[in-house]
Amino acid sequence: MNDYPNDSEFKSGFVTIVGAPNVGKSTLLNRMLGEKISITSKKPQTTRNRVLGVLHRTAAQMIFIDTPGVHRAKKLLNVRIVETALNAMGDADLLLIMIDVAASDPVSEGLMVKTLKKNRKPVILALNKIDLAKKDDLLKIIARWESVYPFEAIVPISCADGTQVDVLMEILEKHLPTGPPYFPSDTLTDLTERFIAAELIREKVFRLTGDEIPYAAAVTVDSFKEEKNGALVRILATIHVERESQKGMVIGRQGVKIKQIGSAARDDIQKFLGTKVFLQLFVRVQKNWSKDAKALQKLGY
C-alpha cells in the first residue's frame, strides 16, 4: 500500500541517467538510493542493462533509470548496449546527463547531444568527479556546456564523496511533473532478486579478473531457491565465457580465482537479501556469444 499524502502538489516521474562509460552513473544511483542495486567497477561498460531504482522523498517519488554507457559501438553486444541507453532517453520525464570533468569523451558527448535535440525533454547536467578538477578548469567546462545546450541546470558533483549530490536531488525534484506515485513506498527496484544476484556475480568477474575476461563474460542464474523458511537462499549460477583459455582464467590455478569471485559475490548478495546464501558457480564456454544474436537474446541482451 502507498502511504504518501494525498497532495495535489506531490511530484513523481522517470529520470533517465545517461553518460559515457565509467562516468559514475551507477555509483550516483546507488548513493541516491542508499542501497546497492546497480553494479560498479573501474572498467568501462560495466552496466549492460537498464536498471530501475525508486527514490522516495516526502513530497516526491523519483524513478531513476540507470543506463549503459553511450559510446561508438562495433560489436553486436555493444550495439545492443548503446541502443538500450539511447532508447531509455525517450521514455523519461526528465533527463540527467552525466559528464566526467576529469576525462572528456567527445564521441559519447556528441551522440548524447544529438539525441537530446531530438527528444526535447527537460535536461539536468551533472558534472561528476569535481574532486579531480581544478576550479579554473571546472569554470571553463561549465561555460562550454552552457553554450552547447539549454540545460535546466548544471550541477557540479562528486559521486565518490557525495559532494552536492543532495543539491542535485533537490533540483531534480523541482523539475519533476506533478502527479501521484507510481510505486508503493517500500519499492526499491523492479528488478528481481535473481537478476540482481547475477549482476553482483558479474561485478566480481569485472573486478577480480584481467582486462580480457569481463567483456567476454555473462552470468545466468540457473537456480534460486529459498530454504529453511527463508533463512537460506541456495543459488546456482553459470559464468559464460567465449574461449577455453578464458575459462581457465576465471577458474584460476587450483580454483583460487573462482573461489574469490564466489566469496565476494556471496557477501554482497547476503547483504542485499538480508539472509544467508549458499552460492555455487560454474563456468561454461559458449563460443563468440557476444557476436551471436541468438546467444545474446538467451543471455538477456
Q: Is the pLDDT of residue 14 over 60?
A: yes
CATH T-level topology, domain 11-174: Rossmann fold (3.40.50)
Q: What is the predicted pLDDT for the residue at 258?
A: 95
Residue by residue, what is the 3-state secondary structure of the chain?
CCCCCCCCCCEEEEEEEEECCCCCHHHHHHHHHCCCCCCCCCCCCCCCCCEEEEEEECCEEEEEEECCCCCCCCCHHHHHHHHHHHHHHCCCCEEEEEEECCCCCHHHHHHHHHHHHHHCCCEEEEEECHHHCCHHHHHHHHHHHHHHCCCCEEEECECCCCECHHHHHHHHHHCCCECCCCCCCCCCCCCCHHHHHHHHHHHHHHHHCCCCCHHHCEEEEEEEEEECCCCEEEEEEEEEECCHHHHHHHHCHHHHHHHHHHHHHHHHHHHHHCCEEEEEEEEEECCCHHHCHHHHHHCCC
On the question of a common fold for 11-174 and 193-298, the answer reads no
Question: In the chain, where are the structural domains located?
Answer: 11-174, 193-298
More confident residue, 272 or 178: 178
Average pLDDT value over all residues in the chain: 84
| pTM exceeds 0.75 | no
Least confident span in 24-33, 69-78, 164-173, 185-194: 69-78
Q: What is the predicted pLDDT for the residue at 1?
A: 42
Note the CATH number of domain 193-298. Answer: 3.30.300.20
